[in-house]
Amino acid sequence: MYRSPFGGTRAIAAAVVAVADHRLDEDEHAWIGKIEALKDELASHTDMAITFIDHGAGDPGDDVTTAEMARGRSVTRTLAEICRGAAIAYKWRLFLFRLVRLFKPSSCIELGTSLGISAAFQAAALELNEKGCLSTLEGSEALAAIAQGNFRRLGLERVRVRIGRFQDTLDRVLGEHAPVDYVFIDGHHDEEATIGYYEQMLPHLSNDALLIFDDILWYEGMQRAWKRLTNYRHVRVAVDLGEVGVCIMSKEASPMLRERYTLPFVGWSIKGRLRRARGSWLRNAVVRSLWG
């Protein structure tokens, strides 16, 4: 796992910049091209319907109850719809890829596999790092089977799908992976559930572990969850990138070392992003990464 005198903040900034520049070496380009081609193929299946059990919070305004989430709701979508609706956007896939390349975690977990697109990006980065493994958790057997097939087709050997509700599988996976260096949380976007998973993970994390939360703007509940998370004393660094929030943890948790940044990474223009950035340390780190 990456360690630096800047405690990883600079590496997050470097990841943002590398994504904005679309900076990829030949091997990285080859992996990403392969995964994107597979994703485009999945997205072309507009007539292949999949019925699966969804244990998530649904879309904003769905008002799914805790009991419904625990029981799961039967949902039917085409493969194209799942691909469009569930997979994290390209720039965030690249961002995850870049974080794994930079931080070189050994032990990684993802909550929310769906078709395995984000997992494939992170697992490809692990392949290129030549170290580390990823367990990705998915409640739907139907989706997990498709994801597993995708990993096989891509030749990704450092990723494994764990089938079952997070409520039932996370404990065991955490025990197997501890100390956990890296977690990407992209499922069950419910305020209390998100806080609950976070608290469950805490004792199993390595010092300097990286936690990435998707959809922190999804609806008020997720915005509150992100705010609550950033108030935990073990969150040393919290970077709000707009849709995605990144935390770097610390066992020492001194209030003196706390860093909080907002860098809405919504556009691709570096000038625009820097103008919007608050939190001068991160902005300076981005500038330094750009211009030495």
Ligand X SMILES: C[S@@+](CC[C@H](N)C(=O)[O-])C[C@H]1O[C@@H](n2cnc3c(N)ncnc32)[C@H](O)[C@@H]1O
Q: How far is the CB of 174 from ligand X (least distance, A)?
A: 14
Distance CA 290, CA 270 (A): 10
Q: How far is the CB of 67 from ligand X (least distance, A)?
A: 13
Question: Out of 11, 14, 35, 86, which residue is the one contacting ligand X (CB under 6 A)?
Answer: 86
Question: Out of 10, 98, 162, 188, which residue is the one contacting ligand X (CB under 6 A)?
Answer: 188
**Long-range pairs for 41-49 at CB < 8 Å and ≥24 separation?**
42/79, 42/80, 42/82, 42/83, 42/115, 42/150, 43/79, 43/80, 43/83, 43/84, 44/80, 45/78, 45/79, 45/80, 46/78, 46/80, 47/78, 48/78, 48/79, 48/80, 49/76, 49/77, 49/78
Binding to ligand X (CB under 6 A) within 104-123 occurs at 112, 114, 117-118
Q: How far is the CB of 291 from ligand X (least distance, A)?
A: 32
CA dihedral 271, 230, 289, 110 (to 10 degrees): -100
Which residue's CB is nearer to ligand X, number 86 or number 248? 86
Query: In Å, what is the CA distance from 131 to each residue of 87, 105, 157, 269?
Result: 25, 8, 11, 33
Q: How far is the CB of 176 from ligand X (least distance, A)?
A: 17
Q: How far is the CB of 89 from ligand X (least distance, A)?
A: 9
Which residue's CB is nearer to ligand X, number 139 or number 245? 139
Q: How many CB atoms lie within 10 A of CB 108?
A: 26
- x/- mask, ligand X, residues 236-265, rule CB under 6 A, reads ------------------------------
Count of residues binding ligand X (CB under 6 A)?
20
Binding to ligand X (CB under 6 A) within 15-54 occurs at 54
End-to-end distance of the chain based on CA atoms, in angstroms?
A: 23
Question: Out of 28, 138, 240, 243, which residue is the one contacting ligand X (CB under 6 A)?
Answer: 138
Which residue's CB is nearer to ligand X, number 105 or number 187? 187
Using CB under 6 A, list all residues that contact ligand X: 54-56, 86-88, 112, 114, 117-118, 137-140, 143, 165-166, 186-188
